[in-house]
């Protein structure tokens, strides 16, 4: 099952789960549209041919959805009844924070073995160095920002680029560093807009032609619109433009790194079910597959190091 926001590499994970399960003599079923599909019994048996030629595709062949009904006891009871009707004895849940929140509540009410795979572009889960889709999303953002810098330099413009990241700023952080952004504004740190404006003023005084500000949508000061308004107010003669990348960051063919991570975790998920190591999310830390209980995964992202934040300030001079 894939649930919540889609992320590049979900199909690679589905492929690995299906083929590993069948290799070990299991019957593998796909639940369409996440928890909502589970409630409605939208469940189909899958064969190896069903996952041919999908490892390179973005999105998810099982589709995904957000289910308010699953948040109720009645919804969870319906979902469990459908699993019993189809003879489902174990679950592999591919998703992010919301998926595992749902899993914690579901398994408090009904007992069924389950493992989770971190499928989210936000990298906002504890228990893994990277999440499936993060590398692709960052590379998509990097490619876009590089192109924006070209036109910013041609016209001596200041650009504000808003990236996804409602609660976690890892996409903005990694892509901003990789693109040499002059400022990176993220939810994990409090934004002092006056300091940002002082740096812009300093760049203007020393005739630095290009200034790129990367902002995560969940930054405490606001997104591109709010930053744009404040910068334009302070510097009326400066040519300021803003760009919101939006859902382009979710799509596209997964990178090599995401395909390998998804394949590795999908294979390990089936082996975890076989060994009875369940109610955990599988991740990779220090190049080893690790297991973290669902309850510890939710909103447990690693704090951003002070050294990294200092590096941003130094390299943006």
pLDDT for residue 29: 98
Q: Tell the CATH topology of 135-250.
A: Rossmann fold (3.40.50)
Residues noted as catalytic = 122
pLDDT for residue 205: 82
pTM recorded for the entire structure:
0.93
Q: Is the dihedral of CA 163, 164, 168, 171 positive or negative?
A: negative
Is 287 exposed, middle or buried, given 0-12, 13-18 or 19+ CB atoms closer than 10 A? exposed
pLDDT for residue 27: 97
pLDDT for residue 309: 78
What's the rounded Cα separation, in Å, for the pair 235 and 130?
39
pLDDT for residue 214: 96
Q: Same topology for domains 10-133+254-297 and 135-250, yes or no?
A: yes
- Residue 17: strand, helix, or coil: helix
Helices and strands in the chain: count of H runs, count of E runs: 11, 10
- Residue 9: strand, helix, or coil: coil
CATH of range 10-133+254-297; options 3.30.1120.80, 3.40.50.2000, 2.40.50.1040, 3.40.50.450: 3.40.50.450
pLDDT for residue 240: 93
pLDDT for residue 299: 60
pLDDT for residue 274: 96
Task: Residue 221: count other Cβ atoms within 10 Å of its Cβ.
Answer: 14
pLDDT for residue 300: 61
CB–CB of 266/17 below 8 Å?
Answer: yes
- Residue 82: strand, helix, or coil: helix
Distances (CA, A) of 92 to 18, 80, 110, 199, 252: 10, 15, 16, 48, 23
- Please enumerate in sequence order all residues whose Cβ is within 8 A of that of 134, keeping only pairs 6 or more positions apart, or say none: 7, 120, 121, 122, 123, 170, 171, 258
Q: Map out the domains of the chain as residue ranges.
A: 10-133+254-297, 135-250
| Grouped pLDDT means (10 residues each) for the chain, 317 residues | 95 98 98 96 97 97 93 96 96 93 90 94 92 97 96 91 92 94 92 93 82 94 95 93 94 97 98 95 96 82 75 78
């Amino acid at each position: 099952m894939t649930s919540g926001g889609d992320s590049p590499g979900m199909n690679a994970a589905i492929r690995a789960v299906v083929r590993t399960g069948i290799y070990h003599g299991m019957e593998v079923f796909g639940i369409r549209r996440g928890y909502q599909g589970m409630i409605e019994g939208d469940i189909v048996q899958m064969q190896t041919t069903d996952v041919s030629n999908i490892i390179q595709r973005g999105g998810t062949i099982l589709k995904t959805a957000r289910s308010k009904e699953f948040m109720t006891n009645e919804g969870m009871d319906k979902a469990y009844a459908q699993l019993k009707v189809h003879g489902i004895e174990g679950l592999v849940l591919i998703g992010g924070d919301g998926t595992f929140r749902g899993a914690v509540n579901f398994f408090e009410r009904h007992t069924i073995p389950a493992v989770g795979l971190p499928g989210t572009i936000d990298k906002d889960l504890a228990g893994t160095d990277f999440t499936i889709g993060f590398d692709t999303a960052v590379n998509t953002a990097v490619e876009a920002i590089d192109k924006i810098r070209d036109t910013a330099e041609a016209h001596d413009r200041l650009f504000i680029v808003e990236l996804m990241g409602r609660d976690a700023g890892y996409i903005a952080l990694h892509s901003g560093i990789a693109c040499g952004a002059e400022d990176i504004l993220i939810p994990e740190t409090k934004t002092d807009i006056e300091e940002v404006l002082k740096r812009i003023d300093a760049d203007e005084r020393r005739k630095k032609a290009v200034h790129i500000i990367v902002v995560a949508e969940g930054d405490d000061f606001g997104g591109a619109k709010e930053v744009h308004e404040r910068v334009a107010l302070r510097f009326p003669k400066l040519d300021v433009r803003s760009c919101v990348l939006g859902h382009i960051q979710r799509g596209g063919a997964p990178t090599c790194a995401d395909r390998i991570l998804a394949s590795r975790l999908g294979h390990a998920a089936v082996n975890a079910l076989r060994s009875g190591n369940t109610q955990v999310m599988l991740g990779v830390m220090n190049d080893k597959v690790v297991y973290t209980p669902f309850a510890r995964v939710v909103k447990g992202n690693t704090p951003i190091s002070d050294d990294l934040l200092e590096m941003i300030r130094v390299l943006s001079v």
